[in-house]
């Protein structure tokens, strides 16, 4: 299965893993590790109890990581014990390896406990600490485990995303995808005397590294994310990790296939690779929770929209194009990189969707009046890869920069 389907793809596609457009806009000011929040009113038609239920569904999915992981190893132990004595002797080192895997899973769970600690305070327009909220997430253990056999994979996907965005190991992936974006944003606004006056939006921000890098270059930047798995983790990194290499985890502890060496499965990785607080206090950097096409409705409000591995998460990509065109200021730019995996296609999902080629997408973009000022295809790129694995997925992504004409009207 494609690795992105287990990372941002499934998270975006499934409502139960995401926040609605009514959820709190969480503004994570990494300069001082404080959260500045706005408290919007919840419209009366919003089912607050449902919001609470799938909030705690994600919390419990994190909590069951250790149980599910150890259950997987226990199954292997049982089969190992059923083998002949001679075969068991030949697998002595393998048995020791399984014991080490259990220790790595336990270590990962300690990181998870930090991620979900005080998570009920993440959003302010829904009180997750209220008695009725607490009662709403109590459930039968066996029932919950059967519901979350696939969800547990998403916790492992969070770990892979963490490697990509906030570790030294992920530097090559970031350089391939983020560097062209950063370079073209800086080049386009090179004559701007005050970069903080340039407002950049990053939909599908994941764990916040791309908007962080944009803000670090002096621009006002907001990341937008839909997945609660990502929002919980980015909140932890941006607001609670106060210096580099603070924590160590084992991102591939539950990856039992395509390992050349046993040690590769248990490679320790430290995060974050940079201090998330390494931003001047005057810079404006934030993360917003919600559905991109629903919460960004103000016309001509952004100087730049940057999308990385994002547009193929749409069921109808025209909605994304239309929204980007609407919110960009005349003269503003859209910078994009990524493939067209189409996470909601019939191959991966039961959702209705369209899956146009880039050729068709380009024609649609042009029909909105955008002008292409840069276009490159076959850009070699990777997504959440294990550098030691025998298996690697390479994308031949498209990179483009297009401009909304100054004379354009919404």
Per-residue pLDDT of the chain (410 residues; tens, 9 = 90+): 444 433 333 333 344 466 554 444 444 444 333 333 332 333 344 567 777 888 999 999 999 999 999 999 999 999 999 999 999 999 999 999 999 999 999 999 999 999 999 888 787 556 666 555 455 455 455 555 544 565 778 999 999 999 999 999 999 999 999 999 999 999 999 999 999 999 999 999 999 999 999 999 999 999 999 999 999 999 999 999 999 999 999 999 999 999 999 999 999 999 999 999 988 888 999 999 999 999 999 999 999 999 999 999 999 999 999 999 999 999 999 999 999 999 888 777 788 999 999 999 999 999 999 999 999 999 999 999 999 999 999 999 999 999 999 976 66
Predicted local distance difference test score (pLDDT) of residue 42:
35
Predicted local distance difference test score (pLDDT) of residue 152:
77
In this structure, what are the phi and psi dihedrals at residue 353, rounded to the nearest 5 degrees? -165, 165
Predicted local distance difference test score (pLDDT) of residue 278:
86
Instruction: Work out the number of other CB atoms within 10 angstroms of the CB of residue 130.
Output: 13
Predicted local distance difference test score (pLDDT) of residue 77:
98
Predicted local distance difference test score (pLDDT) of residue 8:
36
Sheet containing strand 328-338, edge to edge, reads: 285-289, 220-225, 199-203, 302-308, 328-338, 395-403, 371-381
Predicted local distance difference test score (pLDDT) of residue 33:
34
Burial of 371-387, coded b for 16+ CB within 10 Å and e otherwise, reads eeebeeeebebbbbbbe
Among residues 322, 366, 373, the alpha carbon closest in space to that of 185 is found at 373
Burial of 57-67, coded b for 16+ CB within 10 Å and e otherwise, reads bbbbbbbbbbe
Predicted local distance difference test score (pLDDT) of residue 202:
99
Predicted local distance difference test score (pLDDT) of residue 50:
77
Q: Give the helix/strand (H/E) hosting 328.
A: strand 328-338
Q: How do residues 83-119 score in pLDDT, each as one tens digit?
A: 999 999 999 999 999 999 999 999 999 999 999 998 8
Instruction: Work out the number of other CB atoms within 10 angstroms of the CB of residue 3.
Output: 18
* Cα dihedral value 225, 230, 200, 24, nearest 10: 50
Predicted local distance difference test score (pLDDT) of residue 295:
95
Q: Give the helix/strand (H/E) hosting 49.
A: helix 48-63
Predicted local distance difference test score (pLDDT) of residue 148:
53
Listed in sequence order, the residues at least 6 apart from 68 whose beta carbon sits closer than 8 Å to its beta carbon are 145, 148, 149, 152
Q: What is the pTM of this model?
A: 0.88
Domains and CATH numbers, the chain: 3-43+150-403 (3.40.50.150)
Tell which phi-psi region holds residue 300, choosing left (phi > 0), alpha (psi between -120 and 50) or beta: left
What one-character-per-residue DSSP string does 351-388 give? S------HHHHHHHHHHTT-EEEEEEEEEEE-SS--TT
Round to whole Å and give the CA distance between 14 and 242. 32
Q: How do residues 121-168 score in pLDDT, each as one tens digit?
A: 787 556 666 555 455 455 455 555 544 565 778 999 999 999 999 999
Predicted local distance difference test score (pLDDT) of residue 346:
75
């Amino acid at each position: 299965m494609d690795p992105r389907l287990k990372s941002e793809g499934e998270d975006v596609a499934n409502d139960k893993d995401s926040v609605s457009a009514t959820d709190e806009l969480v503004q994570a000011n990494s300069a001082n590790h404080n959260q500045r929040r706005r408290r919007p009113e919840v419209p009366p038609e919003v089912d607050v109890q449902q919001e609470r239920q799938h909030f705690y569904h994600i919390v419990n999915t994190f909590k069951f990581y250790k149980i599910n992981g150890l259950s997987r190893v226990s199954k292997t132990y049982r089969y190992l014990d059923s083998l002949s004595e001679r075969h068991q002797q030949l697998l002595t080192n393998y048995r020791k390896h399984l014991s080490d895997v259990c220790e790595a899973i336990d270590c990962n769970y300690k990181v998870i406990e930090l991620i979900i600690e005080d998570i009920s305070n993440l959003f302010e327009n829904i009180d997750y600490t209220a008695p009725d909220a607490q009662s709403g997430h109590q459930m039968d253990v066996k029932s919950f485990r059967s519901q979350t056999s696939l969800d547990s994979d998403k916790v492992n996907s969070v770990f892979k995303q963490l490697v990509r965005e906030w570790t030294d190991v992920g530097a090559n992936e970031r350089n391939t995808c983020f560097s062209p974006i950063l370079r073209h944003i800086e080049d386009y606004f090179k004559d701007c005397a005050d970069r903080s006056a340039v407002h950049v939006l990053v939909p599908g921000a994941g764990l916040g590294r791309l908007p962080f890098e944009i803000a670090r270059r002096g621009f006002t930047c907001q990341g937008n994310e839909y997945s609660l798995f990502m929002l919980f983790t980015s909140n932890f990194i941006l607001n609670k990790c106060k210096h580099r290499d603070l924590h160590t985890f084992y991102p591939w502890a539950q990856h039992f296939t395509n390992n050349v060496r046993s040690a590769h499965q248990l490679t320790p990785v430290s995060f974050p690779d940079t201090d998330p607080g390494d931003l001047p206090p005057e810079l404006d950097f934030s993360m917003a929770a919600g559905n991109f096409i629903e919460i960004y409705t103000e016309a001509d409000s952004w100087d730049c929209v940057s999308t990385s591995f994002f547009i193929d998460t749409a069921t109808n990509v025209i909605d994304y194009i239309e929204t980007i065109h609407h919110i960009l200021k005349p003269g503003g730019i859209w910078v994009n990189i990524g493939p067209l995996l189409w996470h909601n296609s019939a191959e991966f999902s039961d959702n209705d969707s369209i899956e146009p080629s880039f050729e068709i997408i380009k024609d649609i973009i042009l029909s909105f009046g955008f002008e292409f000022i840069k276009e490159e295809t076959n850009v070699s790129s990777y997504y959440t890869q294990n550098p030691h694995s025998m298996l690697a997925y390479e994308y031949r992504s498209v990179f483009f920069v297009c401009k909304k004409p100054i004379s354009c009207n919404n």
